[in-house]
Amino acid sequence: MVRYKKILAAVLSASLILGMAGCGKKKENTTEITEESTTEEVVDVIDTEGTDNDTTTEDSSDVDLNSSEALAEQEKFDDWLWDSFSEGVNTDSITLNYSLANPEEYGITPTVATYGDADMSEEAIEESKQDAIDTLDELEEFDYSLLTEDQKFTYDILYDLQETDIESYDYIYLYEPFAYTSGLQANLPITLAEFTFYDKQDVENYIELLTQTPDYFEEYLKFEMTKADKGYFMSSHSANEVIRQCTEFIDKPEENLLIDTFEERVRSVEGLTEEEINSYIQQNHDNVINYIIPTYENVINVFKQLRNKGENDLGLCYLEGGKDYYAYLLKSKTGTDRTPDEVIDLLDSALEDTMSDLYSIAFSNYDAYEEYFDAYENETLYQDFDEKETIQYFQEAFSDRFPEIPPIDFTITPVHKSLENSVSPAFFMTPPLDAYENNSIYINQGSESSQSLWSTLAHEGIPGHMYQFVYYLSNDPEPLRTLLNFSGYQEGWATYVEMMSFDYYEHYSNPTYADIERINNELNLLVSARVEIGVNYEGWDLEDTKNYLESNGFGSDGAQDIIDYVVAEPGNYQMYCTGWLEFEELKEYAQDELGDKFDEQEFHKVILDAGPCQFWLLREKVEEYVRNK
């Protein structure tokens, strides 16, 4: 039997980070297209083909999958998957709460309240690595040829994921648990605020978790000290950002998010007496003041001690093993099988193609082009619209392009003031496997991107994250797969459909504005992703980054901001950008191969039915669909 943390890279604190907001939108764009962009020469675009991964399996075309031997092996594999899920989902209270609303219906008895194992000592890391190797050995014991096609697909996903997990241990001290937009300190507040109280026991588990927070964080702070001793501590800028975040979160203790939101949450629990409710309110207040606030004070103190110990303010490639680590991150975070050099070619080609689109608009309708920038500068580009009505509008508008999903309900909530400078412009909270009907989207009204919510709501809502998760969970997926995190698929999908939202331009005063706005979004993402790989893999410094931006017709005033972000969050832009381009390439392949037979809704169903996975495996699904069509 395999433990959940083996499959999900235990050393990367998967349970807390995965359990929270799974699908946060990317950091707001830091570059803008300018009218001068059209003065650059347009060159021909060359399509870059990704390399196919071959599964290391034998031909099973002549195997009788209904034989007693095959059926026994299939049952054995199903049992292994179920044991892995039931143990994995119960590894910690966060994972269980976010994964299942009714664990008893799955035969799972919740354990005592716990964040899970946070030991980051060298001995624990080595033990975890051996666990990962043992898990791979367990997978190899199955006779792949006797499994069903669905089982083989799950097997391939797990095998590749496990190999990648094992590789992560080669770069353990390059891992950053306190990254300033995806780290523990940034995720914990929303994670706890969205911890669902299904019953009284959930309330008590939550209250207990608050008391465990200092010890949980302490393990990762010890890890940061070890990193500093080994010369791998983060840049001083990143450390100062962590300090700022923590300071802002605890600035007004009595108005803390976890105190402000608790009473409404606990009063929603059926069967509690007024005396119990008041007792829980007091306990929550005291635990936030006595455990959560001191935890963040401790982070501040440790980071103040360590912030000048970082030996590198540039990209990963300047650290020992950093270039290889970035290649690992690219594979791990995006699910692509492309090398960094192949991703560079992909980004460069896409950038040329997008610039060509921009020139075409500018040359064919220059008046609208100029008017767009006037409206952008004067903040008159966007019209007001209701957020929930917009998502409902998208559901109807996209109905002929995507398969139908069951009826759902959702809330849109503003991010708490204390987190506005710490979290993404927007994010979707992943629903439990057995309660996908109720969903939650957060909007950061303090973000610079809050004015352009049209595409953001498509990204987070329908047909983006909310739609994709509801579709997948409503189609009875293999439970273990719902615990796996494939950010490239998830963020790539949401970005892919976000760009489609500009096909519906009701909130623009001029239809051409929608095309320019889409191109603006694409260019911002492409340029940011290209700088990210340039800084972390090719070794660009500030001068290199400015030269790149200026040579492509972009302003370079924000170059240092981009560098600071991609140094702190290497691989983040690739989840969105490379993931989006992978989906675009799959669609273009299917269109080219099928011609008039291509059906967009049918194509999207293939993608969605496959579910979150690596792109080389998704490509095989699309190729099979094309062959059968």
- When the pLDDT of each residue in the chain is averaged and rounded to a whole number, the result is 88
Would the pLDDT of 93 be above 60? yes
**Which strands form 409-414's sheet, in the order they lie side by side?**
23-24, 426-429, 438-443, 409-414
What is the signed CA dihedral for 177, 183, 189, 194, rounded to 10 degrees?
Answer: -100
Distance CA 340, CA 310 (A): 26
**Shortest CA distance to 316 belongs to which of 538, 605, 552, 35?**
538
Q: Which of 4-13, 169-178, 296-305, 423-432 has the lowest mean pLDDT?
A: 4-13
Would the pLDDT of 474 be above 90? yes
Phi-psi region of 450 (alpha: psi -120 to 50; beta: other; left: phi over 0): alpha
Within 8 A by CB and 6+ apart from 290, the residues are none
pLDDT computed for residue 11 by the predictor: 29
CA dist 277 → 267, 282, 587 (Å): 7, 9, 53
pLDDT, tens digit (0-9, with 9 covering 90-100), for 145-184? 999 999 999 999 999 999 999 999 999 999 999 998 899 9
Highest mean pLDDT among 208-217, 414-423, 508-517: 208-217
What distance, in Å, lies between the first and last C-alpha atoms of the chain? 39
β-partners of residue 443 are 414, 426
Distance CA 374, CA 354 (A): 21
Distance CA 608, CA 605 (A): 5
Helix (H, G, I), strand (E, B) or coil at 427: strand
pLDDT computed for residue 23 by the predictor: 53
pLDDT, tens digit (0-9, with 9 covering 90-100), for 347-383? 999 999 999 999 998 888 888 778 777 766 666 666 6
**Shortest CA distance to 458 belongs to which of 526, 507, 509, 516?**
507
pLDDT computed for residue 385 by the predictor: 74
Q: What is the mean pLDDT of residues 27-33?
A: 44
Q: Which two tokens stand for residue 79?
A: 């049992």
Q: What is the mean pLDDT of residues 32-36?
A: 39
pLDDT computed for residue 428 by the predictor: 93
pLDDT computed for residue 407 by the predictor: 93
Would the pLDDT of 313 be above 70? yes
Which 8-state DSSP code applies to residue 430?
Answer: P
pLDDT computed for residue 61 by the predictor: 65
Helix (H, G, I), strand (E, B) or coil at 4: helix
Residue 307: φ, ψ to 5°: -60, -25
CA atoms within 13 A on the CB side of 250: 21
Q: Which two tokens stand for residue 608?
A: 């969605």
Which 8-state DSSP code applies to residue 143?
Answer: -
**Shortest CA distance to 8 belongs to which of 177, 151, 128?**
128
CA dist 374 → 32, 385, 488, 567, 587 (Å): 14, 21, 35, 33, 35
Strands 438-443 and 409-414: parallel
Within 8 A by CB and 6+ apart from 293, the residues are 250, 253, 256
State pTM to two decimals: 0.90
CA atoms within 13 A on the CB side of 50: 29
b/e burial code for range 115-152 (CB count within 10 A of at least 16 → b): bbbbebeeeebeebbebbeebbeebeebbbbbbeeebb
Distance CA 539, CA 558 (A): 18
What is the signed CA dihedral for 251, 256, 258, 261, rounded to 10 degrees?
Answer: -150
Q: What is the mean pLDDT of residues 1-11?
A: 32
Between 56 and 91, the more confident residue is 91
Q: What is the mean pLDDT of residues 81-108?
A: 96
**Shortest CA distance to 108 belongs to which of 92, 90, 120, 93?**
90
**Helical residues (DSSP H) of 307-339, grouped into ranges:** 322-334
Distance CA 421, CA 181 (A): 10
**Shortest CA distance to 198 belongs to which of 101, 274, 284, 279?**
101
8 A C-beta contact, residue 284 and residue 295: no
Would the pLDDT of 628 be above 50? yes
Q: Which two tokens stand for residue 595?
A: 């011609």
